[in-house]
Amino acid sequence: MFTFVSSCERALQTTHRIWTKRVWLTFCLHFLDDPSVGLENGELIIPGHVLRHEVFDPVIHQVLRAIHSHSRSSRIRVSTLLLVGGFSTNEYLFQRIKGAARSGLYPTVTSVIPSQSVVMRVRLPAEAEDKRMRPAYITTSGGMHFCENRLQYIIKKGVGVQKGSRVETELRKFSAAPYDSIFETVIYTSNDDRTMRYTDQGETNELCLCRVDLKELAQLQGTCQGRVTHGVLTLLGFDLSTAEIRGDLLYRERKFGSTTFNLRR
């Protein structure tokens, strides 16, 4: 492992020789040849572009995101960045951080690291774990068992969200009669680092109420009349800065309407 790391560090000392093909020796006599992973005659051959995109760029992106996050949360103006540790001597890392600092870091970082989780309370078909852990939450409807007060994550705290990407999740409305047309769910935020399964596992703060009357969508009403409705509401474009939620109502991959959910202040 030490030899591998040392070779990688030497491979990245200058920007002119960074992405040439790198070769390492293997000392495992049982696996001297495996072309599928680049192992030929006891030598591990990794193309330079693979080494860059799969090994080094992910680490460098994490470093840039960490610097960006701390610089934005600090009230003190950052004027100097000190790189320490063995990897800090890497010329490629130095150039990336230098360029990011010159452009204010913001354009370089392609992901947003949310400081809170965004979750919604849902009713899902009951699983064996639900019946064992929360029997009081189990209800029966139309011969099916459901678990109330389940949590479904839209955005997970600390997990990067790509800028400009569309955060999507599906919600289904099961209704056996035309009068059962109200679709409603509550969206919460949570500071808990754990992934919670039920609403009683940790503290949550209500963000907004999503409420849609399917009868207001004439096209959907005509399509689903006389049968069990599986209306799928897909949340789109969750904006962390404004906490505005915009959504499309879909049924069998057809779009029937759009809405912006009102926030509870």
Identify the CATH number of the domain in which residue 177 sits: 2.60.34
Domain that holds residue 233: 117-261
Are 69 and 125 found together in one domain? no
Are 11 and 89 found together in one domain? yes
> Among the three residues 109, 137, 162, which one is the final residue of a domain in this structure?
109
Provide the b/e sequence for 135-171 (b: ≥16 CB within 10 Å): eebeeeeeeeebbbbbbeebbbbeeeeeeeeebebeb
The count of structural domains within the chain is 2
How far is 63 from 28, CA to CA, in rounded Å?
33
pLDDT at 150: 92
- Are 112 and 240 in contact by the 8 Å Cβ rule? The answer is yes
How many beta carbons lie within 10 A of that of residue 66, not counting itself?
12
Angle CA 205–209–210, to nearest 5: 135
> Among the three residues 64, 80, 109, which one is the final residue of a domain in this structure?
109
Phi-psi region of 108 (alpha: psi -120 to 50; beta: other; left: phi over 0): alpha
Are 130 and 207 found together in one domain? yes
Are 49 and 129 found together in one domain? no
Are 154 and 105 found together in one domain? no
Are 143 and 72 found together in one domain? no
How far is 232 from 252, CA to CA, in rounded Å?
8
Are 182 and 227 found together in one domain? yes
Are 17 and 92 found together in one domain? yes
Q: At a CB cut-off of 8 Å and minimum separation 6, what does 195 contact?
A: 153, 156
Take residue 78 and report the two structure tokens written for it. 């950052």
Are 131 and 218 found together in one domain? yes
Are 71 and 194 found together in one domain? no
Q: What is the model's pTM?
A: 0.49
Take residue 31 and report the two structure tokens written for it. 């696996």
- Are 70 and 25 in contact by the 8 Å Cβ rule? The answer is no
Are 96 and 133 found together in one domain? no
Are 242 and 148 found together in one domain? yes
Q: What is the residue-level pLDDT of the chain in tens, covering all 265 positions? A: 333 333 334 434 444 344 455 554 455 555 566 666 666 666 766 666 667 777 777 887 887 788 777 777 777 777 777 777 776 777 777 777 776 666 555 444 566 677 888 888 888 889 999 999 999 999 998 788 999 999 988 888 888 776 656 666 766 666 666 677 777 778 888 888 889 999 999 888 887 777 777 666 555 555 445 444 455 555 544 555 444 555 666 655 566 666 655 544 4
What CA–CA distances, in Å, run from 45 to 8, 20, 38, 52?
12, 11, 5, 14
> Among the three residues 46, 75, 109, which one is the final residue of a domain in this structure?
109
